[in-house]
Every structure is written in C-alpha cells, then in structure tokens.
Amino acid sequence: MNPNLFNTPEIKTRIIDLEYKHFSPKALQNIPLEKAKNNFEIEVKEIFLEETGKLLDEDLKIFHSSESNDLEVQQSGYDGTAIYINKGETEEVYVISQGTQDIQDWEYNLKAMFAGQSSDQAIATNNFTNDAYTEFDIDNNTNTIGLAHSLAHNNNTTAHLVFNTFDEVFSINGAQTNYYQLYRLDIHFQVSLEEAFSIEGIYDIYDITPQELHDFAKDYYSDKEQNITQFISEDDPLYAVSGIRGFLTLGDVQYINTNPSLPGLREIVDDIPDDIIVSFQEMAIDYTIAAEQGGMNAGIEKLLGVNPSLFEDKSGGMDYFKWYITSPTEVDTVIRNLNDNVPVLNEKIKIITDNSELIFGRLYEAGYITKNQQDTLITEFGNLQHELNEIQELIERNISVRDLNNPFATLGADSGTILKIMQHGKKFTEIVKNIQDSNILHNLEAITDSHSLIEMLSSLSGDGRNKSYLGRDMVLTSSKGGNIQINISAALRMYQQCFPLLEEKSTMINNLEKAVTDEIQNAFNEEKQKVMAKINEMEASPGLYRDLLRKHIYFPRLNKTVRQINVHEEFLPLEQADLDEEISYMRQSVEKGKKHIETYRTSIEDLFEAEDHVSDMFNLIGRI
C-alpha cells in the first residue's frame, strides 16, 4: 500500500472518532451541517499538526451522506463522510463510514453480519463514494481510503471486495464481512463457489461445512485482503463473536489487549454454541435500543408486545373488569400482541435458561460479573421462563376460545385470563428490575468500553515520540529531564484560543478609550464651547440684555440701558472622568496575559527536543 497523508493508525483512529463527534445523527440535531463541516475541518488539521508536526494548509472538501440523492444511501441507514485533499502531488479521498448508531443499524447488523442476508449498506457505501467523486469533480482513479469502526468495517470491506470501491481499508474493532453475504452480492464469487462445490443455489451453500466455506472465501479474496488493515481489541464483543459461522476475517490484523485486567470475551464465546449467542444478542439488542429511547417499560414492550405502564393504575379485579368493559379494542390488541410476541421471546429465553450455568458461569470466571450477579442472572432468567410459560398457556387457551366467536364464552375466558396475565406481567417487570438493580449492566460496561475507539487509541503504542492518549487528546512525555507528561492537545488549544481572546480584550480596551474621549471629553468641550459662544455674544451686544435689569433693579421708566457686560468665567475640570490610569492597567493585563502564555509555551518547548516538533506546533497552530 502506498503511504498516504493520514499515514499512522493513530491519525486514522482519531479522524474516525472525530467524524462520530461532528456527524453522528445526534450531533447533527444540534448544529447545521455546514457549521459541523467547518468545525470538522479545523479539528482534522489540528490532529494532523499534533501527529506530524506539519501544517495541512490546503482547504478540505467535505461531503456528507445526508447530501447524497442516491436512493440506496437514503433508505439503507448508511451514514458517512467523504474528505477530499489535494496537496500538490498527493491527491486523496477518505471515506469514513459510521458504525452502529441507531435501531436501523442494529437491525442491519443482524441481517448482514449474523444472517448474511442483507448488503444494502455495503451497496450504499459504494454509491456514496461515487457520489463523492462527482461532488468533488474528480475521477474514480483518485487514491481512496476507507476508514471504519464497528459495523462500518463490514460495509467498507464488502464494498471493497465486491465493487473495488477502495484502494485501502483501515478499521478499528470491525464487524467482519460474512461469506453468506458475499455469496448473495458478488456474482463472480457466487459462480466460482457453485462450480467449486457443485451446488445450485443459496440453500445448498448451508450444506457446505463452515470451515470449507471460510477457507475458499479467504483464498478467493486473497489479493484484495492485502489492502485491508485492522486493529482489533481482544476484549471487543464483535471480536468475541467473529468465530461464529459465516464471519470472514481478512487483512493484516493486529490484536491488542486493551483491557489487561480482563481475559477477553473470545474464549468465552468460543465455548458457547452459535445459536445461543445469536439468541442472546437479538434479545439484548431489542431491549437495549427500546430502553434507551423510552426506559425500562419501553424495553419490556419491545420484548412482550405490551407496555407495563398500561396496568400501573390497576390494582385489582374490578379495575381490570372495568378496563375490559370500557376498552374492549385495547384489550383485544393486548391479547393479540402477547400471542404474537410471547412464544418468540419464550423460545429465546429457553435457549438461555437451558444454558444459563454455562453462559453466566463463564462470565463470572472471566471476572465480568460477581458470584452474586451470576446467581441473580440464573435465578431471574429461570423466573422469566416460568412467567412466560404461564402467560403463553393462558393466551393459547384464550385465543382458542376467541376463535369460536361465542361472546359469552369469550367473556368468561377473558375475565379470568386478563387478571392472571396482568399478574404475571407485573412479575415479569419486577424480574427485569431485579436484574437492573443488581448492577450487572454497569459491570458489563467494560465490554462496551473495549469496543470504543478511545480505549483502542489509548492502547496504540505510538511512533517513538513518547506519545500516548488521554481520551481524544494526545499526550507527550518529556524527552528531557524527568518523566513529565504534557497534554499537548490541550496546550495547543489554550495557546490557539487565548491569543484571539486577548486581542479581543485589547480591542475592547481601545473601544473604551475611544468612548471616553468621544462621549465624555468631546462632549464636555462641546458644551464648554457653547457657553463661551454665549458669553462672547453677551459681551459683544450688551444692550440686547436690558430686560435682565428688571430682574435685579427696579426703575419706573424704560430709559435705562446696559452699556457693558463682563463675564468672569471659570470652568472646573471634570471630576472622576480621567480613566487613563484604569485603561493603562487594563492594557498591562493584556500584555501580562500574552507574556504568561509565551512563558507557558517556552516552558513546554524546553521539555522537548527539536525532533519532537513541539515548537513547530506552537508556531503553526495559529494558522489553522
């Protein structure tokens, strides 16, 4: 692979994370797209400067998937951002495809990754990339790199294998492509596989052993996998399930132990049959997504088909009878929904309870949950199984009576069934709450953390510059003297942001000084001039002011006149209007601030050698 501008795993990982920060659906709810693009470009250049010590001074062209008119992009749930950089001899396009973000993505996960039945987002990835070429007014021979995390690796890699979309694919903790998925999408792979194994269609492919399929697919795509680079956490849940039938891991893969305190999930999952893992995952995804949007009741509704809040105001038989009489349509909907959902859920729960000792025992042995939590899970899943069995039996008997279309028989069946179902439903809710209250989900957050870009970034070794990461920030360890760590990202941000603030403060001081001159001194002088003009007028024409004598001297006839007026004026200086001292103090504070920042910069620079490029970073950050 040819070297590219973003030429290290750290830069690429930070750019992927930055795309989430600015272009996730949640982020775009709070900021206009053009503003997000501008902020993204600035931070891309900051990352490039921190990682290379060089300035990326070319303007970036940015194209977001929401701007695409392609139907597949719009309808598949695909999200991504393309960047075009033209830096003289280097011309590149980076397509950053987003990982799992919402319910549409999770549903696609199950269809594409586990079942191998959908490739919509992989097709959308290719279409979006072609749209980006058109938007940037370039041809498709431009060096194009796909960056990905999670689900996006499946999209980018599948597009690369089938459509030659990318010259290079780079991924962090990726969801692997699926050879069943490739069989459905890649006609050339399909023909080759059918010839090799003498099969005639999609259903015959499942008769081929998974290992044979895996080996054939890996050999078939061996030339293209040379352009795929992956970094995978050994603790990542997607890595844990990547050994399940259908998954195909390709490329130069570097496995990293991002959480040394835990053994990783892969060896746990390898001990558990595929159907159990898929069943558990389907149920967990359904509950988690619904619960995130509407709380625990919404999660239960997704599983059962009925929201427990419907029964919170009903405490006894009469309440349910009243509800039955006044809301017959709602009652019928509840029963029908339970009939549709309970058998499916019951089947999934049964798979888990039949293997609960194995599943939760392995999680306990690996340190992901405590012994008490293991016991709670085994007990409560058993209780769930019991309640679901009871509800299913009640519903089946009730439906059989309802199908007789006998209103009297239906009334009799319903009256007992409704009360019992609601009693079991309340117990179901209590069981789910018991599981939540045991802090099991909190303990399992370590699994989620190991899928994140941040944990991977902090585990990357760097490039010999004594580099590490704190969250999204880069930290440099001093190459002189003691072991001093500097958050260089924060230092550059402060340096970059403080000088404009000080310049703004200086401008405000100038404006204040001008206001003092214009609004106070000039106004005082204008009024003084008006008074002097009036004095001059009175002294020049004293006879015009004869009437003023009557205010001070009485005389009966109008034969008196004023021959001369002499005004003895005295203008006292303005008090408390001299702000020179205060303005001088404020100017000194600005200069003191600039000196403090420069001292801060110098102190940091003195900790590093020239090859660390720290001085260059400070010199160049102001040009971004």
Winning range, highest mean pLDDT, from 27-31, 96-100, 348-352: 27-31
Let me know whether 241 and 116 are in one domain: yes
Average confidence (pLDDT) over 451-456: 84
- In this structure, which amino acid lies at residue 527? E
Can you name the residues that pair with 97 across neighbouring β-strands? 80, 148
Tell me the residue range of the domain where 178 lies.
9-256
123 and 155 share one domain? yes
Q: Assess whether 102 and 19 both reside in one domain.
A: yes
User: Is residue 431 domain-shared with residue 504, that is, in the same domain?
Assistant: no
Residue 264 is assigned to a structural domain of this protein: no
Q: Tell me: the pLDDT tens digits for 403-418?
A: 656 565 555 556 667 7
What is the average per-residue pLDDT within 231-250? 83
What's the whole-model pTM score? 0.72
Asked if residue 228 and residue 107 are part of one domain, the reply reads yes
| pLDDT band at residue 105 under the 50/70/90 scheme | very low
User: Does residue 316 lie in a domain region?
Assistant: yes
| 460 in any annotated domain | no
Q: Which two tokens stand for residue 203?
A: 């259903």
- How many structural domains comprise the chain? 3
Instruction: Please name the helix (run of DSSP H) or strand (run of DSSP E) that holds residue 455, with its range, or none.
Output: helix 453-459
> Averaged over 560-578, what is the pLDDT?
78
- Do 188 and 121 lie in one domain? The reply is yes
Q: What is the pLDDT of residues 385-405, one digit of tens each?
A: 898 888 888 887 776 666 656
440 with 491, same domain: the answer is: no
CA distances from 239 to 197, 217, 320 (A): 29, 19, 48
Q: How buried is 17 (Cβ within 10 angstroms: 0-12 exposed, 13-18 middle, 19+ buried)?
A: buried
User: Which tens digits make up the pLDDT trace of 257-311?
Assistant: 887 776 666 767 777 776 776 666 667 667 766 766 677 778 778 877 777 777 6
Percent of the chain with pLDDT over 90: 33
| Residue 45 forms part of a structural domain | yes
Looking at the domain assignment, is residue 478 inside a domain? Answer: no
518 lies in the same domain as 611: yes
Question: Where among 424, 450, 476 does a domain terminate?
Answer: 450
Looking at 435, 450, 465, the residue that finishes a domain is 450
Residues 340 and 388 in one domain: yes
Q: 389 and 427: one domain?
A: yes
CATH of the domain at 108: 3.40.50
Retrieve residue 158's tokens: 């599948």
Confirm whether 457 is domain-assigned: no
Rounded Cα distance between 355 and 257, Å, is: 28
Tell me if 169 sits within 8 A of 251, measured CB to CB: yes
Residue 38 shares a structural domain with residue 75: yes
Write the DSSP assignment of 119-154 as a string of letters: -HHHHHHHHHHHHHHHHHT--TTSEEEEEEEEHHHH
Residue 4 lies in a domain: no
Could you tell me the CA-to-CA distances from 185 to 104, 130, 163 in Å, in that order?
20, 18, 10
* Domain end position, chosen among 430, 450, 470: 450
Residue 472 falls inside a structural domain: no
Give the helix/strand (H/E) hosting 592.
helix 580-605
Q: Are residues 409 and 501 in the same domain?
A: no
